[in-house]
Amino acid sequence: MGDLTEPGGKARLFVEGPLGPHMRVTPSPEQAHYLLHVMRAKPGERVSLFNGRDGEWRAEIAEVAKRNCTLVCETQTAPQTQAPDIWLVFAPVKKTPADYLTQKATELGVRALQPVFTRRTIVTRVNLERLRANAIEAAEQSDRTDVPETREPLPLEKLLARWPAERKLLFCDEAGDAPSIADALKDVRGGPWAVLTGPEGGFDPKERELIRAMPSVVPVTLGTRILRADTAALAALAVWQSLAGDWR
Amino acid sequence: MGDLTEPGGKARLFVEGPLGPHMRVTPSPEQAHYLLHVMRAKPGERVSLFNGRDGEWRAEIAEVAKRNCTLVCETQTAPQTQAPDIWLVFAPVKKTPADYLTQKATELGVRALQPVFTRRTIVTRVNLERLRANAIEAAEQSDRTDVPETREPLPLEKLLARWPAERKLLFCDEAGDAPSIADALKDVRGGPWAVLTGPEGGFDPKERELIRAMPSVVPVTLGTRILRADTAALAALAVWQSLAGDWR
């Protein structure tokens, strides 16, 4: 009997409902379409499910109709885990780079995605549904059992005003008088942390002053080459995971 | 008089010919079009030029015709520098991810880009001209004075057979028994190194054996989440730069 949980024919789906022994799950219409018409799944075949709370479950495809099917949980295949306590706070960028940034940040293991509007941010709205869909898809593909939280965008001033005091703010500062990221993180283990990156064009001088005045700020540099905002964000996340996060 | 070397109205061009005091440079037809019709540059305005050998020069726009112009070097604005001695060896991916990977790797400061064909590589040819164009564009935008070398693709076996013994090969191994990248790099400073990442679907078991048997191989893991090939490449480059490269 085919097994869609194996690499090559992989079906790993995020669902909203509870998962547990013998529990029945109805996939969304899009998921049912994917299973039945893209993967051509047959009754008795297996898929992997997770919901962000109950770990990963192997489930059997049962009761296949033309447009839908039921999935029945068999055994838990992975315990529930959570990404390290690192947020990505980012100025929203255009559609394709935003999709890319969300997917990569999810793979790199962020716990939350927080869009922030700054003075030089060109994009004026964030499609939160699209942000969430990208985060879910990347969580499915990267074998996460959790999905990063996707937050309502906030103006920078408001975000900083309500910033939780204990959460360190890794600020990728273009000005260049900050220590290197490796030096700044060399004795750090675990969260709570956040990576903050600006829009194309950077933060304006007043914003930079505001950020640097935060008691929890840790300004760092990522070398002398100019990085695009999304490159800086992904690089900072990777270095944080490697030194302070769960890659170690 | 306008200055196109300033942020906001930035014109920074890679040219092939030599640069030096009073030297005259004829931009390519595409560059002339960009300067005259996109940037609407006028005679007397300034641009930045680099050629990978003579540092960065400020040049004045002179002799403007309908379709072309001449640029006259004034002063050197940055010395010639070179990215650290780190190569990216990567299995080619589809068009858009390949563009993205090339741009990001250039920003992150690779010295050379080496495509490699593996058994599971789906893409069968590499557009070297496009690879080079993306590397040049990213070098222009990231303020590099050098452009990463773009190499002819090679089959994995051939690449490994002629691998220079002194060059360490950072192998992002999915199998998971390797040390973390931070531990593997903690006492390393500088090159010669290379990051090796596989295709979507990874290396096949025989290839993996071949790679792990190389005397210069340094296998590492990037955590337990599954990273796409391009995410792994960029993450490994960022961590290398932060610990062993010129971000420190």
Considering only the beta carbons, identify the residue of B180, B241, B246 that sits closest to A248.
B180
State the CATH number of the domain containing residue B20: 2.40.240.20
Mean pLDDT score of chain A = 93
Please list the residues that pair with B169 across neighbouring strands. Answer: B194, B217
Distance (Å, whole) CA A128 – CA A98: 11
> For B143, which of A221, A225, A241 is closest by C-beta distance?
A225
Instruction: Specify if B4 maps to a domain.
Output: no
Query: What value of ipTM does the predicted structure carry?
Result: 0.94
Q: Could A226 and B104 be called an inter-chain contact, meaning their C-beta atoms sit closer than 8 Å?
A: no
- Whether residue B19 lies inside any domain: the answer is yes
CB contact under 8 A, A107 and B228: yes
**Residues in B touching A242 (Cβ below 8 Å):** 180-182, 222, 235, 239, 242
Q: What is the mean pLDDT of residues A17-35?
A: 95
Collect all residues of chain A within an 8 Å Cβ-Cβ radius of residue B100. Answer: 100
Q: Closest by alpha carbon to B23, among B80, B65, B71?
A: B71
Residue B3 counted as domain residue: no
Q: What pLDDT, on the 0 to 100 scale, is given for residue B58?
A: 97
pLDDT of residue B7: 47
Q: Which of A99, A242, A248 to mutate to test the interface with B (most CBs of B within 10 A)?
A: A242
* Predicted model pTM: 0.94
Instruction: Kindly state whether residues B63 and B157 are assigned to the same domain.
Output: no
Contact A180 B248 (CB under 8 A): yes
**Helix ranges, B93-219 (H):** 95-107, 128-141, 156-161, 181-185, 205-212
pLDDT at res. A48? 97
Mark yes or no for CB contact A180/B228 under 8 Å.
no
Enumerate the β-bridge partners of residue A57: A49, A76
Instruction: Assess whether B190 and B158 both reside in one domain.
Output: yes
Is position A185 within any domain? yes
Nearest alpha carbon to residue A159 among A107, A106, A121, A188: A121
Domain boundary among A78, A98, A114: A78
Count structural domains, chain A.
2
Answer for the pair B163, B189: CB distance below 8 angstroms, yes or no: no
Domain end (from B52, B78, B104): B78
In chain A, residues with a C-beta closer than 8 Å to the C-beta of B183 are 248
Same domain, B58 and B96: no
* Inter-chain residue contact B227 with A201, CB threshold 8 Å: no
- A168 and A213 housed in the same domain: yes
Which member of B228, B234, B247 has the closest CB to residue A180?
A: B247
Beta carbons of B242 and A222 less than 8 Å apart: yes
Give the closest of B104, B225, B234 to A142, CB-based.
B225
Question: Residue A85: pLDDT band by 50, 70, 90 thresholds?
Answer: very high
**pLDDT for A122:** 86
Is the per-residue pLDDT at A160 higher than 60?
A: yes
Q: Write the CATH number for A131.
A: 3.40.1280.10
Please state, in angstroms and as integers, the Cα–Cα distance from residue B215 to each residue in A186, B194, B205, following that order. 29, 14, 18
Q: CB–CB of B11/B50 below 8 Å?
A: no
Residue that finishes a domain, picked among B24, B54, B78: B78
Contact A243 B141 (CB under 8 A): no
Residue B27 lies in a domain: yes
Do B47 and B93 reside in the same domain of the chain?
A: no
Judge whether B160 and B215 are in contact, CB under 8 Å: no
The whole-number average pLDDT for the span A162-190 is 92
Verify whether the Cβ–Cβ distance A142 to B227 is below 8 Å: yes
Q: How does pLDDT run along chain B (248 residues), one tens digit per residue?
A: 445 665 444 699 999 999 999 999 999 999 999 999 999 999 999 999 999 999 999 999 998 888 899 999 999 999 999 999 999 999 988 877 889 999 999 999 999 999 999 999 888 889 999 999 999 999 999 999 999 999 999 999 999 999 999 999 999 987 768 999 999 999 999 989 999 999 888 899 999 999 999 999 999 999 999 999 999 999 999 999 999 999 98
For A109-140, how does the pLDDT look when each residue is reduced to its tens digit (9 = 90+)?
Answer: 999 999 999 999 888 889 999 999 999 999 99
pLDDT tens digits, A212-239 = 999 999 999 999 999 999 999 999 999 9
pLDDT value of residue A2: 46
Q: Is B191 within the bounds of a domain?
A: yes
Nearest Cα to Cα of residue B64 among B85, B40, B88, B84: B40
> Does residue A65 sit in the same domain as residue A150?
no
Residues of chain B whose beta carbon is less than 8 angstroms from a beta carbon of chain A are 7-8, 100, 103-104, 107-109, 141-144, 180-183, 201, 221-228, 231, 234-236, 238-239, 241-243, 245-248
| Three-state secondary structure call for residue B113 | strand
Of B109, B142, B223, nearest to A241 by CB-CB distance is: B223
Whether residues A45 and A74 fall in one domain: yes
- Same domain for B178 and B99, yes or no, is yes
**Residue-wise pLDDT tens digits, A188-214:** 999 899 999 998 888 999 999 999 999
Residue B248 belongs to a domain: no
> Are residue A216 and residue A98 in the same domain, yes or no?
yes
Check whether residue A152 and residue A238 sit in a common domain: yes
Handedness of CA B99, B104, B109, B110 (dihedral sign): negative
Nearest CA in chain B to A101: B231
Helix (H, G, I), strand (E, B) or coil at B123: coil
Range of A228's domain?
86-243
Domain shared by A108 and A211, yes or no? yes
Q: Which residues of A sit within 8 Å Cβ distance of B?
A: 7-8, 100, 103-104, 107-109, 141-144, 180-183, 201, 221-228, 231, 234-236, 238-239, 241-243, 245-248
> How far apart are alpha carbons A112 and A32 in whole angstroms?
28
Q: How far is the CA of B187 from the CAs of A190, B171, B243, in angstroms?
A: 22, 17, 8
Q: Does A182 sit within 8 Å of B242, measured CB to CB? A: yes
Residues A203 and A137 in one domain: yes
Is A5 a member of any domain? no
